[in-house]
């Protein structure tokens, strides 16, 4: 529920959704339909005013601030439309950031950072800064950063929104591989419905904060 002056506006309403571990779900709908709100609630970035949210066996309503921070650090990884990389840091240093907060030793951080850049196809770009990378490469760094602390769930909010069609397909192929090979649950918010159909196992559609359609693809 959001407030605009004296008016309360429900962002999501009457929505019941269950996602099994290891699924790849694409969330679609027009702007303002509640897609990003849903992702922010699942990631613990926002708190709902009613209802119940359980993620990986945790009731998010009951978590303390410290417990919520640990949940965001270790259970979920988040990828956004804007890459949110630090300009003055190299690719590997950007990937290392979540591990600093998790108090991983410097040498282990560097080793895992390079390992993740290799995983996303950027092993030869570890010393490049964001300004020296293409948009698709920057998003791959962002994916690697989201994987830094070995999350069980990846929440991706329009990760292809700033990319051309070729790079957009490459990012979705990468997410599909992480889902298929590593068993990571993927929840993807996207306007690229037809592209999502190629890679996701399920598509749900929101409208005015309500779930209006759920389609199982495979």
| pLDDT tens per residue across span 159-173 | 999 999 999 999 999
Classify 3 as helix, strand or coil. strand
Q: How confident is the model at residue 49 (pLDDT cuts 50, 70, 90)?
A: confident
CA dist 146 and 207 (Å) reads 28
- DSSP, res 93: H
At residue 1, the pLDDT reads 45
Domains identified in the chain and CATH numbers: 1-75+151-218 (3.40.50.300), 87-150 (no CATH)
Say if CB 68 and CB 60 are below 8 A apart: yes
> Does the pLDDT of residue 130 top 60, yes or no?
yes
Helix (H) / strand (E) element for 37: namely helix 35-42
Residue 195 CB burial class (10 angstroms; 0-12, 13-18, ≥19): middle
> Does the pLDDT of residue 4 top 60, yes or no?
no
pTM (predicted TM-score) = 0.92
Q: Which of 187, 210, 205 is nearest to 11 (CA)?
A: 210
* Mean pLDDT to the nearest integer, 87-105: 97
CA dist 125 and 173 (Å) reads 20
């Amino acid at each position: 529920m959001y407030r605009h002056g004296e008016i309360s506006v429900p962002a999501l309403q009457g929505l019941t959704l269950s996602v099994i571990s290891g699924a790849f779900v694409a969330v679609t709908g027009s702007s303002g339909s509640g897609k990003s709100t849903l992702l922010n609630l699942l990631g613990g970035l926002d708190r709902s005013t009613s209802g119940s949210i359980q993620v990986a066996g945790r009731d998010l309503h009951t978590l303390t601030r410290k417990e919520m921070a640990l949940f965001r650090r270790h259970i979920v990884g988040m990828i956004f439309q804007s890459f949110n990389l630090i300009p003055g840091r190299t690719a590997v240093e950007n990937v290392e950031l979540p591990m600093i907060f998790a108090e991983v030793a410097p040498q282990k951080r560097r080793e895992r950072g390079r390992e993740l850049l290799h995983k996303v196809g950027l092993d030869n770009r570890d010393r490049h800064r964001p300004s020296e990378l293409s948009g698709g490469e920057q998003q791959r760094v962002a994916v690697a950063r989201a994987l830094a602390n070995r999350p069980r769930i990846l929440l991706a909010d329009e990760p292809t929104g700033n990319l051309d069609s070729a790079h957009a397909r490459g990012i979705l192929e990468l997410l599909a591989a992480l889902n298929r090979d590593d068993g990571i649950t993927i929840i993807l918010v996207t306007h690229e419905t037809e592209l999502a159909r190629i890679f996701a196992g399920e598509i749900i559609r929101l409208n005015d904060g309500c779930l209006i359609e759920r389609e199982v693809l495979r």
